[in-house]
Amino acid sequence: MAILPILEIPNPLLRQRAKKIRSLSNKTISLAHDMVETMREAGGVGLAANQVGVLQRIIVIQLPEEEEARIYLNPEILKATGSRKIEEGCLSLPGYRGIVTRSIKIRFQALDSNFKTIKFKADNLLSQALEHEVDHLNGILYTDHLVEHESLYKIEEPKPTETLSEDDLDTSSSFTIK
């Protein structure tokens, strides 16, 4: 497995629509596993194939509490209900976060790594991550969903010699998708 370079804004591939996968191949599965390693190395919750320069409809997701990553091919949001404002970030725009509007719940469909159709309902961080990554495959960035442009802000990264105290940690209930 390999760590792949993650494209950053304004790379034009991030604004292109990824193509549907017509058949399963070893190359596709190998790419998906490389994406998982890349996502983990970068500290993200999800990654879409066009973020690593491949215009195929592949996303990978791994929630913090999960041991295994999820691989989804040709993912679709079938239905979205409700609306909430939540903080988001993205590996393709490192060092920034913003407040966006996302659904409360979604119905989702995709092919798994065995090319079998799966459908399920999702909410909370999972629905947010799925919406974020499917948006990537459609050439949409989280900055397109900003509540207002002023809600995009730069995050301060601690310098390598700095240590954070408990008082420095954000204990709010918002989640960040990278």
DSSP 102-165: E-SEEEEEEE-TTS-EEEEEEEHHHHHHHHHHHHHHTT--GGGGBSSGGG-EEPPPPPTT----
Q: Is 133 a catalytic residue?
A: yes
pTM: 0.85
Question: Which of the residues 133, 150, 156, 162 is marked catalytic?
Answer: 133
Q: Where are the domains of the chain?
A: 12-156
Per-residue pLDDT of the chain (178 residues; tens, 9 = 90+): 799 999 999 999 999 999 999 999 999 999 999 999 999 999 999 999 999 999 999 999 999 999 999 999 999 999 999 999 999 999 999 999 999 999 999 999 999 999 999 999 999 999 999 999 999 999 999 999 998 877 788 887 654 444 444 444 333 334 445 4
Structure tokens at 46: 């999800």
CATH architecture of 12-156: Alpha-Beta Complex (3.90)
